[in-house]
Amino acid sequence: MKVKSKRRTPKRIKESVTEVEYKKLMSAVRGDESLRENTKDNLLRAFTILYFTGLRLNELQEMNLSHIKELLNDGETKLFLPKTQSERKLFAGDAFQKQLKKLFTITADTDLQIKIIAKGSNESKKAGMHPLTFIAQVNAVMKSVLGAGYTSHSFRQGLISEMGAKGINAKIISKFIGHSDVKTTMGYIKPTDDDVKGAMIR
C-alpha cells in the first residue's frame, strides 16, 4: 500500500517594515489621488503610529485624541488593551512627536474622545471604524505598495528586530512592546539580510 506523502507549502517569509518601507508607504498614500481624504488620514496615522510603537492594529484602534495630546505634551501615554485586560505605556521621542504634529491638529475645543482611526461621518467618530474593515484596508495597501510578504504585523516585527539588532536588552524590548513573556519577544527578532551580512566574520 502506497502512503501518500503530504506536500507542505513553503512557509512564506514574513518581511519587516524598516524606515525604507515606512517612507515608501507614506509616499504612496500621500500621492494616491483615488483615496478619500479621511481614508488617507487614517492610513497615514496608522502607518506612523505602528512604525514608532509596534502596536497591533486592534490596539491602535483603541486610541483616541486624548492619547495623542498626552504623547505630544508629556512624551508618553497609557493605553488600555481590552484583549489582555492590561495597560501598555507608549512613549514618543522627538522624531515621533514631529510626525504626530503633522498628522493631528488638537485645539482647546477639540473633542479628545474622538478615535484616531474614524469613519468620515461626525456621529461615528467616537465609535471608530470596524476593526476587520480597517485591518483589511491596511493590509491591502501594504501588499500593493510593498508586496505579498507584508502585513500590519510587519511593523511590530520590524521594530523588535531593529531594537534587537542594536543590542537592546530583550527584557527592555519586551516591556516596550507590551509582551508579558520575553520568549515571545525573542521569537519576533528576525535579523535582516544586512544584519546577517554585517555580522559575518569570514
| Whether the model pTM is above 0.85 | no
Q: What is the Cα 80 distance to its own chain's centre? A: 16
Distance separating alpha carbons of residues 199 and 21, to the nearest angstrom: 23
Contact yes or no for 178/97 (Cβ under 8 A)? no
pLDDT at 121: 56
Give residue-wise pLDDT tens across range 127-141.
Answer: 667 778 899 999 999
Triad 169, 171, 172: Cα angle to 5° = 70
Query: Nearest-CA neighbor of 164 among 183, 185, 193, 178?
Result: 185
Residue 43 lies in a domain: yes
Label residue 182 exposed, middle or buried (CB < 10 Å: 0-12, 13-18, 19+).
Answer: middle
Residue 2 lies in a domain: no
Q: Residue 164 is part of a domain; what is its CATH number?
A: 1.10.443.10
Residue 96 lies in a domain: yes
pLDDT exceeds cutoff 80 at 190: no
How many distinct structural domains can be found in the chain? 1
Name the residue range of residue 175's domain. Answer: 19-194
Residue 35 lies in a domain: yes
Residue 10 lies in a domain: no
pLDDT at 3: 56
Give residue-wise pLDDT tens across range 62-74.
Answer: 999 999 999 999 9
